[in-house]
Structure 1
């Protein structure tokens, strides 16, 4: 299953999970209901039909499980992409806020006169006694 492989490559699958079961990989089993239900003895009262119905229902549930696994894998990959996007956004905001702090500190150093006007200086006096 391609999505499962992508999840594994992105590091989102714990190693203890291992590969999905044969039923979830979409690989059909070797035996079929016809082979399983064929027996030389006569079957009483529609047991064969009941077993065929059960087999079909199990196959339907397997298909649903495969679909759900695919959706979960897709969701996991989307969540990883969103996490990376969020991390990038937070890093950008941190950079912007640090730049704003630097600008504010620079403005404080320059005083309220602004960068084009030099800060007023007191004149240097020499006193001679």
Structure 2
């Protein structure tokens, strides 16, 4: 199955998960199913019809299983793409936040001026203030 191979190549298969059953990976047998199961012979009280019905239902279940496996593989590939997009978005957001912090620091330096200008040398005291009411 092509989607399974793509999923495996993308590294999106969980560790320890083996390949799907060969019945789901192979091409369904061609021809009529009843020819494969039953050979001509006497009818044993409806057993042939029951067996044909069971064989047909198993074929239907197999087709559904193959469809579900394909859908799961497609979903896994889509999730891998979304994960990559999310990681790219988060990296861009981090870069943007870092640039905003740098700009903010630069703006503060421009407003306050150099550190020595706001704090006079040693021995300098703030003036005492008195309030008269």
Question: What TM-score, normalized by structure 1, do the two folds share?
Answer: 0.78
Unaligned segments of structure 2, at least 5 residues: 119-133
Q: Aligned partners of 1:82 and 1:38: how far apart in 2?
A: 52
Aligned to 1:44: 44
Unaligned segments of structure 1, at least 5 residues: 114-120, 123-129
Aligned to 2:34: 33
Q: Aligned partners of 1:16 and 1:92: how far apart in 2?
A: 34
Which one scores higher on RCO, CA 8 angstroms, separation ≥ 6? 2
Which has the larger helix fraction? 2
TM-superposed deviation, 1:104: 0.2
Aligned to 1:20: 20
The answer on 1:102 being equivalent to 2:98 is: no
Q: Deviations over 1:11-66 (max 9, x none)?
A: 111353232212211422599432332265x3311111111111011000100000
Aligned to 1:117: none
**Would you identify which runs of 4 or more consecutive aligned residues in structure 1 move more than 6 Å?**
none
